[in-house]
């Protein structure tokens, strides 16, 4: 009889999540219950031909019908449910070897039992667990066979074949469906992790990694086709003073408010992102400096009307610099430096303004 090991059970991670481990135990309980019931049917079909004592029938009933629930209770009460499940699997392997010997190596159910006891470990790619469980299976089989006098009757009559069919069909399909669901879950989690790796946790905008990747793609497109693109750098004026006076929660509200304004004031093809600290970037494909100036005007207008519940007297302003993509720019760093240089000129001109790279003075948007 068999159960399934869908994850590397013996490994205990540093950040051990007991709730996650208990979910794993519940998942195994459902599969173990099915596997042992169907495996028990295979063994029972052979025992009915051998005329074994009533004690073997009692042992089979305990193993096939009672043990799944006992094993789950043991794991749930354990300080380390995953290690408890690993021990349960070891015991089940030894008992599986015992039943192979009791069946006197009847060919189909014996092969089926050994295969199902191994396939779950192979599916989980836990070769260490597979090696140990196989050794215990062999030991259980050898000791039981020796105790019974090494009886061997490998022929499999039709009644046993029929009894093995549910185990042969239903159990692998069940394991496959569970592993498919787990694979889909892992895929969703990986996508989520990738998304988190490209998203700023506070504002929900793209992060530095994302905006630089988009800027690199736009710079390469400009070099190929000559199509225009603009990079805007935006910095909150006197942000340190805001944090010092109103506290960091209000500072966070300011950053989130700016993020909302940037989303509302840019086009669907633009990429607003938090570059770091109180600095934001906007990558604008198919735009020139006049388009960047219009966006800057809308942003500053919206920010002037922005209210913060934690600081009703706070007026948030920003300084904005912009630079067009240029064939002479070797990389994104050069593009960012050009926009950043315009930003510092806007700050030097008194803040709360817009400067385009190459312009002689700040231009109020």
Residue 179 contacts by C-beta under 8 Å, 6 or more apart in sequence?
6, 123
Distance CA 16, CA 289 (A): 53
Distance CA 36, CA 68 (A): 8
Give the DSSP letter of residue 64. I
Distance CA 137, CA 118 (A): 10
206, with CB counted inside 10 A (0-12, 13-18, 19+), is buried
Q: Which two tokens stand for residue 38?
A: 């169907």
Distance CA 137, CA 19 (A): 31
Q: What angle do CA 168, 164, 71 make, to 5 degrees?
A: 75
Distance CA 262, CA 281 (A): 10
Backbone angles phi, psi at 271, to 5 degrees: -125, 95
Told to judge if 80 belongs to the known catalytic residues of this protein, a careful annotator would answer no
Helices and strands, number each (H, E), in the chain = 12, 5
Q: Which one of the listed residues 5, 278, 340, 352 is annotated catalytic?
A: 278
Q: Which residues are catalytic?
A: 278
């Amino acid at each position: 009889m068999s159960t399934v090991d869908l994850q590397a059970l013996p490994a205990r991670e540093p950040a051990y999540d007991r709730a996650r481990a208990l979910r794993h135990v519940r998942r195994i309980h459902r599969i173990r219950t099915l596997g042992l019931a169907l495996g028990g049917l295979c063994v029972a079909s052979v025992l009915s031909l051998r005329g074994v004592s009533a004690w073997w029938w009692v042992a089979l009933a305990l193993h096939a019908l009672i043990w799944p629930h006992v094993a789950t209770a043991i794991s749930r009460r354990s300080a380390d449910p995953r290690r408890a499940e690993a021990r349960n699997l070891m015991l089940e392997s030894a008992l599986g070897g015992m039943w192979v010997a009791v069946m006197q190596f009847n060919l189909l159910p014996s092969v089926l039992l050994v295969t199902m006891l191994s396939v779950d470990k192979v599916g989980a790619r836990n070769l260490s667990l597979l090696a140990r469980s196989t050794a215990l299976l062999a030991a259980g089989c050898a000791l039981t066979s020796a105790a019974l006098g090494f009886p061997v009757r490998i022929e499999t009559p039709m009644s046993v074949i029929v009894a093995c069919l549910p185990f042969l069909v239903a159990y692998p399909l069940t394991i496959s469906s569970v592993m498919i669901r787990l694979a889909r879950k892992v895929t969703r989690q990986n996508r989520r992790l990738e998304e988190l790796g490209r998203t700023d946790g506070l504002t929900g905008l793209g992060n530095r990694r994302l905006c630089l990747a988009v800027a690199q793609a736009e710079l390469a497109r400009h070099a190929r086709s000559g199509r225009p693109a603009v990079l805007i750098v935006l910095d909150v004026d006197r942000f340190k003073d805001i944090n010092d006076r109103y506290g960091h929660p209000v500072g966070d509200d300011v950053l989130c408010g700016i993020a909302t304004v940037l989303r509302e004031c840019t086009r669907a093809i633009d990429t607003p992102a938090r570059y770091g600290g109180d600095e934001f970037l906007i990558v604008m494909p198919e735009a020139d400096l006049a388009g960047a100036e219009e966006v800057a005007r809308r942003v500053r207008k919206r920010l002037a009307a922005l209210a913060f519940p934690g600081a009703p007297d706070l007026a948030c302003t920003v300084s904005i610099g912009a630079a067009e993509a240029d064939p002479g720019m070797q990389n994104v760093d050069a593009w960012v430096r050009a926009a950043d240089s315009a930003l510092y000129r806007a700050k030097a001109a008194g803040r709360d303004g817009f400067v385009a790279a190459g312009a002689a003075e700040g231009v109020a948007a």
